[in-house]
Structure 1
Amino acid sequence: MPEPIFQDIPDYKSKKGEDFMSDGQTQHFKAKLNAWKDQLINDAETTITHIQEDSSKVADINDRATLEEEFALELRTRDRERKLIGKIEKTLHLIELGDYGYCKTCGAEISLMRLEARPTADECIDCKTIAERKEV
């Protein structure tokens, strides 16, 4: 799978004395999230076209089985991405509400470095680590 297009957007450089989740920061993450969402939607449309064009009759039963397995894998990937689009939309909504960048568990600021790596993060690294330990 190709790298997300939001990786092409340079990381935000905080200005000295800048408040957390200033207008510049929120606009940066909004642009990053929208670019990622647009890429996922474009990938889904490409998959639909690819499946429609490549699903013509294949004479060999083994080739047909291989092709169907490839389609199934692609569709599973797109299903995961569909769920990710929902998470991106939820995150964009949090930006609009002014709640983006704060941990849903403890309310602390999520570091800009974490948000750059995972723009949909909704927990600080400490709360996420604790939650993951509980899952095991």
Structure 2
Amino acid sequence: MNRLSAQEVDHLKQRLRTEHGQLRREVAAELARSSQGRYVELAGQVHDRGDEAVADLLEDLEIAALDRHVHRVRLIETALGAIDTGRYGLCRACGVQIGSARLEADPAVERCIDCQTAAEQGRHAPTL
């Protein structure tokens, strides 16, 4: 078992909090820009259907980026909650300790490498 030391958990917790704050600021800024009518501004500048399609595509890309940020914020909040309950670093699928190198690469990771590989390949990983 590859248990994390308290110092490692504190280090990863700080990284999670830093990223969480940064992402929340980015989401708030993006929402503020959206509420200022960026689509209306883009669409108002277009002169034909092709330009309008580009404006729609740009808006869709911004929404997709916002969705990714919100998803990442939720992952981070889940990881921070797991730290508080003492379950941080345990695979949500099989319960084994996630390797410290994997957690260092991504402190919000939810699965061990085997379960993540299985999920990406569409196979069912064991569940708790």
Task: Report the counterpart of residue 17 of structure 2 in structure 1.
Answer: 34
Q: 1:131 to 1:67 in 2, by over 3 A?
A: closer
- Which segment drifts farther, 88-97 or 48-57? 48-57
Task: Report the counterpart of residue 110 of structure 2 in structure 1.
Answer: 122
Matched position secondary structure for 2:3: coil
2:32 aligns with one of 46, 49, 70: 49
TM-score for both structures, normalised by structure 1: 0.70
Q: 1:132 to 1:76 in 2, by over 3 A?
A: closer
Q: 1:65 to 1:123 in 2, by over 3 A?
A: closer
Matched position secondary structure for 1:102: coil
Q: 1:47 to 1:105 in 2, by over 3 A?
A: closer
Task: Report the counterpart of residue 81 of structure 1 in structure 2.
Answer: 69
Query: How far off its partner does 1:29 sit?
Result: 1.2
- Which segment drifts farther, 63-72 or 95-104? 63-72
Distance 1:67 1:132 in 2: 33
Task: Report the counterpart of residue 55 of structure 2 in structure 1.
Answer: 67
Aligned residue type for 1:58 = Q
TM-score for both structures, normalised by structure 2: 0.74
Q: 1:121 to 1:59 in 2, by over 3 A?
A: closer
Task: Report the counterpart of residue 45 of structure 2 in structure 1.
Answer: 58
**Structure 2: 5+ residue stretches without partners:** none
Tell me the C-alpha RMSD between the 2 structures: 2.4
Aligned residue type for 1:72 = D
Contact 2:4/2:100, CA 8 A, preserved across alignment:
no
Distance 2:4 2:120 in 1: 26
Identity over aligned residues, as a percent?
31
Higher relative contact order (CA 8 A, sep 6+): 2
